[in-house]
Amino acid sequence: MGSSPEGVGGALIDTTKRLEPVSDSPRLDAELLVAHALGVSREAMILRHLGDPVPEDLEALVARRLAHEPVAYITGRRAFWTIELAVGPGVLIPRPDSETLIEAAIEYFGARAPARILDLGTGPGTLLLAALAEWPEAQGLGVDASNVALDYARRNAAALGMAARAGFQHGDWGRGIEARFDLILANPPYIGTQEGLPEQVRLHEPGSALFAGADGLDDYRRIIPDLRRLLAPGGGAVLEIGWTQAEPVSAIARNGGFAVTLYKDLGERPRALLLT
């Protein structure tokens, strides 16, 4: 591949075709991998580098993707909301669907701004850092049971200039937290243990961030009863759900005394619940 006379433009076409059996977005994957091999942004590659020689290490990157390794792990980066995060093995890769939680929070607060934000199961800092980018005066705390994830989260906060506003701690959901927060965000594990997953997820992403008992609801049963004591007056909690889980999770929330508002993702699937 490195000696292709067609340069980067030809490599993009070839790589896209090769990735079709393993990817739902082969063209995007190809662009991200080629740009990474070139050491430039995807946008810069498209605008200025299509005629460049093909990078020698592209073939190794493509081989990793053909083995179902997620592109975000290969490049070490993932865009989310208005920020870009460092990610790698041991952390859940941010998904565009999770941006629905930020949209729900923005709608709920309107002209107001949350002063204190809690992200339960923060992973690489995904929801907390996106929210802090949206509300520059806010302070936040991210909690996770994974030290690997917390290391990524701290590095991401520093890289984004948010280290003074974002704290991170090892924890078990809200257990042991005494403070109260205006906004609580959570993307807990919600996949049933017997559910099938794409190879790139099953083989590479941490099961502890994916699976939550036979029905996928175990962590909601632990998180939701604790939310009332963690929410400040007038605050709201936004939880991500699997697209089939709106009714059972809403029932858990209503049993806990919450009013529930459903938000759908860009695919018009149920994706987030606002609890107030």
Pair of tokens at residue 266: 């860009």
Pair of tokens at residue 124: 């690489």
CA neighbor of 100 nearest in space, from 275, 274, 276, 271: 271
CA neighbor of 226 nearest in space, from 118, 112, 98: 118
Residue type, 263: Y
92-275 shares the fold of 7-67:
no
Instruction: Show Cβ contacts of residue 80 under 8 Å, excluding neighbours closer than 6 positions.
Output: 94, 96, 98, 99, 126, 130
7-67 CATH: 1.10.8
Contact 38, 57 (CB under 8 A): no
Q: Show the beta-strand stretches assigned E in 18-73.
A: none
For the full predicted model, state whether its pTM sits above 0.85.
yes
92-275 CATH: 3.40.50.150
Domain spans of the chain, in order of start? 7-67, 92-275
d(C-alpha 247, C-alpha 38), whole Å: 47
What is the chain's pLDDT, residue by residue, as a tens digit (276 residues)? 444 457 999 999 999 999 999 999 999 999 999 999 999 999 999 999 999 999 999 999 999 999 999 999 999 999 999 999 999 999 999 999 999 999 999 999 999 999 999 999 999 999 999 999 999 999 999 999 999 999 999 999 999 999 999 999 999 999 999 999 999 999 999 888 777 778 888 778 887 888 878 799 999 999 999 999 999 999 999 999 999 999 999 999 999 999 999 999 999 999 999 999
d(C-alpha 187, C-alpha 136), whole Å: 22
